[in-house]
Amino acid sequence: MTGCSVPELPELQAHAERLSRHVSGRVLQEFIPLNFTVLKTVDPPVAAATGRTLTTVSRRGKYLLVQFGEITFVVHLMQGGRLIPDPRPSTSKRGVRARWRFDDGSEMVLTEPGTERRAGVWCAYTDRLDRTAPLTSLGPDALELTEQDLAAAFVMYPMRLHNFLRDQHMVAGLGRRLANEVCHSARLSPFANTAKLDTEAVARVHAAIVHCCTVSLEHERLNNEMVNSSDRFSAVHARTGEACPVCADTIRSVEYSDYTVNYCPTCQTGGRILADNTTSKFLK
Ligand SMILES: [Zn+2]
């Protein structure tokens, strides 16, 4: 496991709130993309934001929304990206993907480490955000999803609970860590079939989504900047081999190429050890 993963709803929400306090009211002099791949749109032109005042920074799913009145920049940080106001002179120039230069001489920069060029910026009309890629295909935000919505989606899209929770089309804002945490908090197997969950189980999943997002958000709001994933709170995520904080059973894992499912057998699977169908046939 690397210590790096895409930030999820709590980290991004807290970061949007910090940025909003820090940079609102500044007037955009120029938006400068620093490579060909970072800016994903051509209409409206980014110059449409020039001279406008930054009104707020908010969040939708795992996207940050940097709003200059009628124009909004949609920013996706991917794994290691950061949106940093007033970068220190030491901030590596090579890692900077885009700059928002303000008329008071200050800046906000989008940085991304190494050679990755996956972070993206979309320039959109604020009143058409829901009809703008990449936001069009997002499901309801995790903190706005109702229990009825969740029940309906579970029936309509039968799949493993962990996969459902990570799928941004189903519910927006959760990722690898929160999918693990929500399944544990709801006392359900990450491999449970969503279409087979009864009303009481659906209610537990809904409550767990709200609980896990809220606890993490309160934790993130205490930080002055977006912390590394290793510093984020978890009961089971990235704790393979450790004791479950609820029952002290050993936390188990199922490994995939780009993520790890962590769970507690006693709390979640009636003591059963999970093996993934796609890999277990290779085990002797
Ligand atoms: Zn447990």
Task: Residue 264: give its domain's CATH number.
Answer: 1.10.8.50
Q: Which residues surround ligand 1, an ion (CB under 5 A)?
A: 244, 246-247, 249, 264, 266-267
- 283 falls within a domain: no
User: Does 94 have pLDDT greater than 80?
Assistant: no
Q: Are residues 157 and 271 in the same domain?
A: yes
- 141 falls within a domain: no
- 140 falls within a domain: no
Q: Which of 191-200, 221-230, 240-249 is predicted with the least confidence, judged by mean pLDDT?
A: 221-230
CA of 233 relative to ligand 1 center, distance in Å: 16
Which residue in the block uniquely carries the two structure tokens 């110059």?
47
Q: How far apart are CA 263 and CA 188, in angstroms?
A: 9
CA of 222 relative to ligand 1 center, distance in Å: 28
Q: Are residues 253 and 172 in the same domain?
A: yes
Q: What percent of the chain has pLDDT over 70?
A: 94
Q: Are residues 151 and 122 in the same domain?
A: no
Which residue in the block uniquely carries the two structure tokens 């085990």?
283
CA of 28 relative to ligand 1 center, distance in Å: 51
- 4 falls within a domain: no
Question: Residue range 20-49: average pLDDT?
Answer: 95
pLDDT number for residue 4 = 61
User: Among 71, 104, 131, which residue terminates a domain?
Assistant: 131
The 10s digit of each residue's pLDDT in 118-142 is 899 999 999 999 998 899 999 999 9
pLDDT number for residue 227 = 73
| pLDDT classification of 225: cutoffs 50, 70, 90 | confident
pLDDT number for residue 231 = 73
User: Among 131, 162, 178, which residue terminates a domain?
Assistant: 131
Q: Are residues 121 and 201 in the same domain?
A: no
pLDDT number for residue 284 = 37
pLDDT number for residue 85 = 94
CA of 77 relative to ligand 1 center, distance in Å: 33
Q: Are residues 183 and 121 in the same domain?
A: no
Q: What percent of the chain has pLDDT over 90?
A: 81
The 10s digit of each residue's pLDDT in 226-240 is 877 677 889 999 999
Q: Are residues 24 and 100 in the same domain?
A: yes
The 10s digit of each residue's pLDDT in 249-281 is 999 999 998 899 999 999 999 999 998 765 544
pLDDT number for residue 2 = 42
- 142 falls within a domain: no
The 10s digit of each residue's pLDDT in 41-58 is 999 999 999 999 999 999
Round the average pLDDT of the chain to a whole number and report it: 92
Report the amino acid identity of residue 85.
Answer: P
Question: What DSSP string describes 213-255?
Answer: HHHHHHHHTT-SSPPPGGGS--SSTT-TTSBPTTT-PBPEEEE
The domain total for the chain is: 2
What angle is formed at CA 60 by the lines to CA 41 and CA 147, rounded to 5 degrees? 140
CA of 114 relative to ligand 1 center, distance in Å: 38
Q: Are residues 74 and 174 in the same domain?
A: no
- 136 falls within a domain: no
Question: What DSSP string describes 99-153?
Answer: EEEETTS-EEEEE--TT----EEEEEEGGGGGGSTTTTT---BTTT--HHHHHHH
pLDDT number for residue 3 = 47
Q: Which domain holds residue 264?
A: 147-275
Q: Tell me, what CATH number does 24's domain have?
A: 3.20.190.10
pLDDT number for residue 92 = 67
CA of 179 relative to ligand 1 center, distance in Å: 16
CA of 263 relative to ligand 1 center, distance in Å: 8
Q: Are residues 255 and 197 in the same domain?
A: yes
| pLDDT classification of 88: cutoffs 50, 70, 90 | confident
Please check whether residue 186 is in contact with residue 207, taking contact to mean a CB–CB distance below 8 angstroms. Answer: yes
Q: Are residues 44 and 119 in the same domain?
A: yes
Question: Residue range 171-191: average pLDDT?
Answer: 97
Q: Are residues 107 and 176 in the same domain?
A: no
Residue 61 CA from chain centroid, whole number: 6
Q: Are residues 199 and 244 in the same domain?
A: yes
